Amino acid sequence: MDDNKFINKKNLIDCAMGRRAADLRITNCKIVDVFNKNTFSSDLLVYNGQFAGFADQNTPEAKETLDAEGKYIVPGFIDSHVHIESSHVSPEEFSRLIIPCGTTTIIADPHEICNVCGLDGLDYMLKASENLPLNVFFMIPSCVPATSFENSGAILKAKDIEKRMDNPRVLGLGEMMNYVGVVLNDEEVLKKILLSEEYGKLTDGHSPGIEGTTLDAYTSAGIHTDHECDTPKELVERLRRGMYVMLRQGSACKNVLHLLKGVTSSNSQHCIFCTDDRQPESILEEGHINNNVKLAIADGLDPITAISMATINAAECYNLKDRGAIAPGRRADFMIVNDLKELKIEKVFTSGKCVAQNGEYLVPVKKIKPEKVSGRMQVAPLTENSFTLNLKSKNVRTISIIPGSVVTNEKPAEVKLDDKGCYQNLEAQDIVKIGVIERHHKTGNKAFSLLSGYGLKNGAIATTIAHDSHNIIVAGDNDRDMYLAVQELINIGGGISIAQNNTILASLAHPIAGIMTDISGEEFEKKLRSMHKIAQEKLQINPSIDPFMTLSFMALPVIPKLKITDLGLFDVTKFEFTTTEI
């Protein structure tokens, strides 16, 4: 028996019984009870980072007393599925951004960095987040690489992920995007799911559009959650099969209000909230999980039901028995809010310590050095001639952007070729070259095709944020600027760059694996906003699309219709490579 745990348990009981003074007593407060779905008035005792109980008149004076002035005590919010890397900031900075929003626990899937760095990426995320006020748990990515149609920085098989599955901060297997592998009994896929089960852990899901017997087969494999529901009907169908359904409000995908139509008093206990991908601008302007909760309340959902979805429901989903409620013996992760509709957060506590007040993070930000995950730009030598596109026909298919969506169409066009068959840009056409260049192993792999609807003129944009393998993706109307934009990324260790007239107009370094910055969220947001302005005003990018986020999803060969990887142009609907020429 651990002597320290024995003593702590004994002292907590003594505090609850009034035999020992509490560290903190909160008076004049109304406590949100997520078990009975109501509120009650009582003083609240905290001892050694845990709730000890509800004080009475015989309770001895605490070391510290806080008058809540009639306000509400709400459990800390839990984000049930998030990719920290998609915020573009480090785990330490992510904590600084979301703690003031009342999020005290997150379930992170380091899918992006593991596609670049493998287990080194997971190890970095674990280390960078181990001493934060934010409680960070992880799901080991299930699909590294995401597909076999591209080259990523790593391959994680069952034997690899087993090396980290016993970590107490690893809760299981990350979103199983390979639903085809599940229902067709792919051996490696089933090994990963069974491995998670053997360690008594969970498997997250990712099942957009799946229904009927396919959904039965997918859930029978032990898939526990889904954050890809698109309709209330899909939500109900997954709940019927025993899954937890996540209502997502990210920077790109937002479905809280749409899915709420399927949430009832009878099924809400299996509904939880997530952000999936949330960038600093969205967090600073709208919030984090508190935004999900406020949207739900404003739409008519009972406030305590909404709070329960962000707290106890998520805790029970992930077997986190020590949090999610204001109750004796649980972690003292909570916030003080003015009321249950406006949900203005005045103070945030983790383990009984005040870590944010009126939007200000009160803890010094100490970042670790990302030694094993920096310098991940292993690119074969390039020249300006590397960016030419030779075609056998002037009749082509283009990747056609749909504004506001990561889905694309296929759009035919007739283009100009020189006497050697090289594509020639025409200013009157809204068509530019797009290419993906492998950056992990110096393979020299690169592929080029054509992109329509981007609006780009006289320049190039490049980035190492290219889902999910995060190779270099570049779009431009001339080879010189495309070459220059890519070379800038190599020089700065990855990130985003804009080139025009043989000059770099702007760049934003992402030295952590080429997908995360080492600057503050506010500084990142300011620089990104400036680069958006340059892209739209100087390169004339279509103002109805995000110039960088849109480009990053053009390399994702699991979302229809046409995408491009370092191996070629890919038809997602047919699940096979195709040609630019028709």
Q: Summarize pLDDT for 431-470 with one digit per residue, the tens.
A: 999 999 999 999 999 999 999 999 999 999 999 999 999 9
Buried b (16+ CB within 10 A) or exposed e, 389-408: bebeeeebbbbbbeeeebeb
> What's the confidence (pLDDT) of residue 57?
77
> What's the confidence (pLDDT) of residue 252?
82
Query: Per-residue pLDDT averaged across 40-48, rounded?
Result: 97
What domains does the chain contain, in order, with CATH numbers?
Answer: 3-70 (2.30.40.10), 74-326+362-372 (3.20.20.140), 374-578 (no CATH)
Secondary structure (3-state) at 380: coil
Burial bucket for residue 265 (CB in 10 Å: 0-12, 13-18, 19+): exposed
Query: Tell me: the pLDDT tens digits for 200-235?
Result: 999 999 998 899 999 999 999 999 999 999 899 999
Query: Per-residue pLDDT averaged across 310-321, rounded?
Result: 98
In this predicted structure, the answer to whether residue 1 has a pLDDT above a threshold of 70 is no
d(CA 129, CA 367): 9
> What's the confidence (pLDDT) of residue 3?
83
In this predicted structure, the answer to whether residue 103 has a pLDDT above a threshold of 80 is yes
Find residue 431's DSSP bridge partners: 452
> What's the confidence (pLDDT) of residue 56?
81
d(CA 366, CA 361): 13
Query: Tell me: the pLDDT tens digits for 515-550?
Result: 999 999 999 999 999 999 999 999 999 999 999 999
Q: If you count them, how many residues does the chain have?
A: 582
In this predicted structure, the answer to whether residue 395 has a pLDDT above a threshold of 90 is yes
**Contact, 223 vs 205, CB < 8 A?**
yes
Secondary structure (3-state) at 184: coil
Buried b (16+ CB within 10 A) or exposed e, 358-372: eeebebeeeeeebeb
Query: Tell me: the pLDDT tens digits for 294-310?
Result: 999 999 999 999 999 99
Query: Per-residue pLDDT averaged across 243-252, rounded?
Result: 94
Tell me what percent of the residues of the chain surpass a pLDDT of 90: 94
CA 236 to chain centre: 24
